[in-house]
C-alpha cells in the first residue's frame, strides 16, 4: 500500500513561513494547512495541494509530496 507524505512542514520551515502566512497566500484555511502539515495521509485533496503549490511557487509537486510504501500486515505473505 502507498501512503502519501506531505512535506509541507519542511517546506514552510525552509521558506521561513508560518501556516497563517500560507493561509493568506493560498486561500486554504490554517486549520486545513495544520492537518496537512501534521500527518501522513492515504487521501489528499488535490485542489487544496494545487492552491498551496501555486502560492509557494512550486512547479514540481515532488517538493511537496512523497509516496512511501507501507507494509499491509493483513495482506503480507506468511513467513514460514
In this prediction the pTM is 0.74
Does residue 11 form part of some domain? yes
Does residue 80 form part of some domain? no
| Distance (Å, whole) CA 12 – CA 38 | 12
Number of domains making up the chain: 1
Does residue 54 form part of some domain? yes
Does residue 27 form part of some domain? yes
3-state secondary structure 46-63: HHHHHHHHHHCCCCCHHH
pLDDT digits (tens, 9 = 90+) for 17-66: 999 999 999 999 999 999 888 866 767 888 999 999 999 999 998 899 88
Does residue 35 form part of some domain? yes
Domain encompassing residue 33:
2-75
Amino acid at each position: 500500500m502507498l501512503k502519501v507524505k506531505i512535506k509541507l512542514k519542511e517546506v514552510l520551515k525552509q521558506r521561513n513561513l508560518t501556516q497563517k502566512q500560507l493561509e493568506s497566500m493560498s486561500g486554504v484555511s490554517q486549520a486545513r494547512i495544520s492537518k496537512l502539515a501534521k500527518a501522513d495521509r492515504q487521501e489528499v485533496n488535490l485542489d487544496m495541494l494545487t492552491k498551496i503549490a501555486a502560492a509557494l511557487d512550486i512547479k514540481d509537486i515532488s517538493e511537496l509530496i512523497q509516496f512511501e510504501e507501507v507494509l499491509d500486515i493483513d495482506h503480507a505473505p506468511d513467513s514460514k
